[in-house]
């Protein structure tokens, strides 16, 4: 994490996930512009699909073209699946890992480390993000696009623990705002760690980052959490406490299987990582190590870890576009998943589980009505916007003038995301 890609040297490569033979999905720290090698459109996105040719060239593709490629490949496999033979297990015992061959699917999740739950008003801007290791390593705070302009007037950045005086993270911003991030943040790494959920509130002269205290401390992975956390990032980024049995003939393969699931799997709200068997085999075999593991060896390792209750089976589903969904959705092709729980997390009541609106192409969420400044764009609000603001102001029972403030327009409540 935090590496540089020569193709896009101005941004950091946060995560790279192999999705198919010669295909990877690269997630960068900020959106990049590039011409898609397939559809020739100029695209700006923080996620880029890279196809590596036989000669070693790396060709960027948009996610739409990548999804169509994966879907067409899966359809071709489905057409021939009935005629393909299944290799027996070495011990000839019936095992769930030895059933019909499973197929690679695309693991695609929104990054909770990016700003979400953004609420903008005339006087302030709020958003939420989960602290990740690359935030600590490179000393920056993620910003929504709405915050970039507002940050020019901010003089100080505070971190509020909720139980003590705030800690000053940055007092002289200068020109440390680049793209959608605030650089030069001095995170107190002895007091914060990956996985903490942070609420940001941006006023006219101060950015306050707040942690929510827990009712009682929680111990996870030999660490003590005093504030609200995201189990998904804990599962992905906290140092693993991985064990293997002394009688295991291939402890290195056991560890590699568990770490592959943890680093590349789909993460759920309970801190579990889930990965289809074929994705697991492909990524383990692509690992550069002293030994070239076969698919049969990976399956045997999975069976052994399941028998020792280190792994479990779960069921997800594959959408028509090749994207994994978990839990399984009705009407979709079911996918067997290998489930790994890296750390024992305290059970949360359902009402305590927090549902956030992460930005993704497949999720739809409501956006409250709000003011938007347009004076600097040389534009004026329409009559419809003025009337809508007056009506919303009256319905809310607010005192004062119902007239739209000068230099602003009114964005009515609407839905964002989804198809």
DSSP letters, 72-93, are: HHHHHHHHHGGG---PPPTT--
Question: What distance in Å separates the CA atoms of residue 394 and residue 53, rounded to the nearest whole number?
Answer: 61
Angle, helix 295-307 to helix 277-285, in steps of 10 degrees: 120
**Residue 333 near residue 323, CB atoms below 8 Å:** no
* pLDDT at residue 231, rounded to an integer: 93
Residue 315 pLDDT > 90, yes or no?
yes
Res 354: pLDDT: 45
Higher pLDDT, 213 or 66: 213
Q: What per-residue confidence (pLDDT) applies to 125?
A: 93
- Which segments of 181-222 are extended strands (E)? 181-183, 197-202, 206-211, 213-220
Indicate whether 362 pLDDT > 50. Answer: no
> Mind listing the domains of the chain with CATH numbers?
3-77 (no CATH), 116-229 (2.40.330), 240-340 (1.10.10), 368-417 (no CATH)
Tokens of 353: 């589980």
Contact 12, 29 (CB under 8 A): yes
Select the more confidently predicted residue: 317 or 73: 317
**351 confidence band (pLDDT: 50, 70, 90):** very low
Q: Determine which helix (DSSP H) or strand (DSSP E) holds 384, and give its type and residue range.
A: helix 383-395
In three-state secondary structure terms, 69 is helix
pLDDT at 275: 95
Cβ-based neighbour number of residue 327 at 10 Å: 9
Average pLDDT (149-155) is 84
Question: Vertex 41, ends 39 and 43: CA angle to 5°?
Answer: 120
pLDDT of 249 above 60: no
Percentage of the chain lying above the pLDDT 70 cut: 75
Euclidean distance between CA atoms 46 and 401, whole angstroms: 42
pLDDT at residue number 6: 83
Q: How far apart are CA 192 and CA 407, in angstroms?
A: 41
Q: Is the pLDDT of residue 266 over 90?
A: yes
Of 76-85, 124-133, 243-252, minimum mean pLDDT range:
76-85
| Residue 230 in this model has a pLDDT that exceeds 90 | yes
Q: pLDDT of 53-95, one tens digit each?
A: 877 788 998 887 887 777 666 555 544 444 443 334 444 343 4
What is the signed CA dihedral for 261, 263, 268, 272, rounded to 10 degrees?
Answer: 50
How many whole angstroms separate alpha carbon 124 and alpha carbon 138?
A: 26
366 in the Ramachandran plot: left (φ > 0), alpha (ψ -120 to 50) or beta?
beta
SS3 231: helix
The CA distance from 311 to 306, in Å, is: 5
How many residues would you count in the chain? 419
Pairwise CA distance, residues 238 & 232, whole Å? 10
Banded model confidence at residue 41, pLDDT cuts 50, 70, 90: confident
Q: What angle do CA 298, 268, 14 make, to 5 degrees?
A: 75
Secondary structure class of 187 (helix, strand, coil): coil
Q: Helices (DSSP H) in 87-132: which residue ranges?
A: none
Higher model confidence: residue 200 or residue 96?
200
pLDDT in tens, 319-344: 888 899 999 999 999 999 999 999 88
Q: Confidence band (pLDDT; 50, 70, 90) for 309? A: very high
CA-CA-CA-CA torsion sign (311, 316, 318, 323): negative
Structure tokens at 143: 């910003």
Predicted pLDDT at 78 = 47
What confidence tens digit (pLDDT) does each residue in 369-418 have?
777 767 666 678 888 888 887 777 676 655 556 787 777 788 777 665 55
- What is the CA angle 352-143-8, rounded to 5? 120
Of 20-24, 231-235, 340-344, least confident by mean pLDDT is: 20-24
- The larger pLDDT score, comparing residue 263 to residue 163, is at 263
Q: Scanning the structure block, which residue is given the tokens 């900020």?
A: 30
């Amino acid at each position: 994490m935090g590496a540089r890609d020569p193709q896009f040297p101005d941004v950091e490569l946060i995560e790279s996930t192999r999705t198919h033979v010669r295909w990877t999905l690269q997630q960068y720290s900020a959106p990049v512009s590039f011409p898609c090698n397939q559809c020739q459109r100029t695209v700006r996105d923080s996620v880029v699909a890279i196809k590596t040719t036989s000669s070693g060239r790396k060709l960027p593709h948009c996610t739409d073209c990548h999804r169509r490629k994966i879907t067409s490949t899966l359809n071709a496999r489905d057409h021939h699946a009935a005629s393909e033979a299944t290799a027996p297990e070495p011990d000839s015992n019936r095992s769930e890992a030895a059933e019909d061959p499973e197929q690679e699917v695309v693991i695609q999740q929104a990054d909770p480390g990016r700003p979400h739950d953004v609420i903008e008003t005339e006087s302030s801007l709020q958003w939420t993000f989960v602290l990740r290791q690359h935030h600590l390593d490179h000393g920056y705070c993620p910003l929504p696009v709405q915050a970039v302009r507002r940050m020019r007037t901010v003089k100080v950045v505070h971190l509020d623990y909720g139980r003590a005086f705030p800690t000053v993270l940055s007092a002289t911003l200068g020109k440390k705002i680049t793209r959608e991030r605030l650089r030069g943040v001095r995170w107190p790494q002895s007091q914060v760690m990956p996985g903490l959920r942070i609420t940001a509130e941006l006023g006219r002269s101060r950015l306050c980052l707040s942690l929510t205290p827990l009712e009682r401390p929680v111990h996870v992975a030999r660490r003590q959490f005093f504030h609200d956390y995201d189990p998904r990032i804990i599962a992905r980024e906290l140092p693993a406490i991985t064990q293997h049995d002394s009688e295991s003939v291939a402890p290195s393969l056991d560890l590699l299987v568990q770490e592959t699931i943890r680093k590349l799997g789909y993460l759920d709200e309970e801190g579990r990582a889930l990965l289809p068997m074929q994705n697991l085999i492909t990524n383990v075999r692509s690992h550069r190590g002293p030994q070239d593991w076969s698919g049969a060896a990976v399956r045997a390792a999975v069976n052994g870890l399941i028998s020792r209750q280190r792994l479990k089976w779960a069921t997800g589903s594959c959408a028509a576009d090749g994207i994994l969904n978990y839990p399984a959705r009705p009407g979709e092709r079911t996918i067997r998943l290998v489930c790994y729980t890296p750390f024992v997390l305290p059970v949360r009541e359902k009402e305590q589980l927090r549902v956030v609106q992460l930005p993704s192409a497949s999720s739809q969420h409501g956006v409250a009505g709000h003011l938007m400044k347009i004076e600097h764009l040389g534009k004026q609000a329409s009559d419809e916007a003025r009337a809508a603001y007056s009506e919303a102001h009256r319905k809310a029972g607010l005192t004062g003038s119902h007239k739209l403030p000068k230099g602003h327009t009114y964005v009515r409540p609407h839905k964002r995301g989804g198809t």
